[in-house]
Amino acid sequence: MKTKKLSFCGSSLMQGNEAGAMGALAADCKFFAGYPITPASEIPEILSSKMFAENGIFMQMEDELASICACIGASWGGSRAMTATSGPGFSLMQEALGYAVVAETPIVIMDVMRGGPSTGQPTSSSQQDVMQSRYGSHGDYEIIALTPSSAQEAFDFTVRAFNLADKYRVPVIVLSDEVVGHTREKVTIPDTVELFDEKYRGLCKEYYKPDEKNIPPRIRFFEEHSVLVDGQLHDERGVRAGHDPVKSARAVEHYCRKILDNIEDITSVDRYFLDDADIVLVAYGSVSRSALSAVNKARANGIKAGLLKINTVWPCPVKEIKAACENARRVIVPEMNIGQYVKEVQRIAGFDKIEPLPSLGGVLHTPKMIFEKIAEVN
């Protein structure tokens, strides 16, 4: 890791979208390409004015597919790159997201979720892109997706997203939502941030050859390498291997194993009152804030409730979910969708004691809604 001293720091009132944009600048993002879309438009708006002061490049593209493709090119050119969008635009990016996975290209995508399908609810919040972030592109692969619940986390998680993208050579998604993106609250930007700094491994022909942690070196253009960047499955030299079943299988296994073998380094959760909890809530994003308020009220009323707050929805923190739910009588999963991540919790903890608590129509769960569910199952 290397320490970067920031030219901007201190505490101020800002929206989650602004905090995410500032997190990108803090993380040394030097290239942004995007297309305006509600409720993420503040991110390109802010970066369009601030990127140049940080010696970066801002481009408004003709659409979302062009945006992510430009980021892939910028990444191979040696820049930390990011785009930002919402559900419909994220759908258009899926083809190139898979390309970035195969080419092992580190980029960051900030998806500020809104209601769908299609145009859906442009100005309302949701958590309906959870499964799209995991399975949106075709084929077998693993992805990293972080879920901030506040403006402060929008800053912090964006910095971490760039570090994870560079470390594991994978696209990383910051899966925000309209509530987080448009909530204005205190954000503290530190004097310095820690950034991943890979040691140069020297010239090599096998520039996709992984190290002992299953991670290949970062190779950029203009470094005397002869590099093939391609969307086909390839061997460790970058040569197309789609015709070879053994090499193709090895490539797909590699895309998955480099994430799953390092899951403890990647995943992050917060635990509240879980030691003696009879009723456990599993929540992420903005809903986790209402969930924590409901848990505090339940405790005040003598109900042993606890919360597992998921900060990294993908890869799924299986061990943490299993441990949190193991001794609980009931597990409640509140989500701003019809029930997506609850399926993961059911897979891990069993179906019998899991209680989904969906909210649709762009309505964020209130603490009262969640507390009433806790009281009902108690």
pLDDT digits (tens, 9 = 90+) for 220-248: 666 666 777 889 998 887 889 889 999 99
Residue 13 lies inside a defined structural domain of this protein: yes
Quote the pTM value: 0.96
pLDDT band at residue 73 under the 50/70/90 scheme:
very high
Paired residues of 305 in beta bridges: 279
Residue 202 lies inside a defined structural domain of this protein: no
Residue 213 lies inside a defined structural domain of this protein: no
Per-residue pLDDT at 223 = 67
Listed residues 195, 212, 238: the one ending a domain: 195
Per-residue pLDDT at 200 = 56
Number of domains in the chain: 2
For the chain, what is the mean pLDDT? Answer: 94
Query: Is residue 49 located within the same domain as residue 155?
Result: yes
95-148 pLDDT, tens digit per residue, is 999 999 999 999 999 999 999 999 999 999 999 999 999 999 999 999 999 999
Instruction: Give the CATH number, domain containing residue 66.
Output: 3.40.50.970
Residue 303 lies inside a defined structural domain of this protein: yes
Instruction: Give the CATH number, domain containing residue 305.
Output: 3.40.50.920
Query: Is residue 48 located within the same domain as residue 186?
Result: yes
Residue 156 lies inside a defined structural domain of this protein: yes
Query: Is residue 280 located within the same domain as residue 155?
Result: no
Listed residues 195, 210, 228: the one ending a domain: 195
Residue 314 lies inside a defined structural domain of this protein: yes
Query: Is residue 156 located within the same domain as residue 7?
Result: yes
pLDDT at 210 over 70: yes
Residue 212 lies inside a defined structural domain of this protein: no
Query: Is residue 189 located within the same domain as residue 281?
Result: no
Query: Is residue 15 located within the same domain as residue 156?
Result: yes
CA distances to 104, 165, 166, 220 from 201, rounded to whole Å, are 17, 18, 15, 12
Give the range of the structural domain holding residue 307, as residue numbers without chain letter. 272-377
Query: Is residue 41 located within the same domain as residue 165?
Result: yes
Query: Is residue 319 located within the same domain as residue 187?
Result: no
Query: Is residue 151 located within the same domain as residue 277?
Result: no
**Tokens matching residue 125:** 């919040």
Residue 95 lies inside a defined structural domain of this protein: yes
Per-residue pLDDT at 84 = 98
Listed residues 160, 195, 230: the one ending a domain: 195
300-345 pLDDT, tens digit per residue, is 999 999 999 999 999 999 999 999 999 999 999 999 999 999 999 9
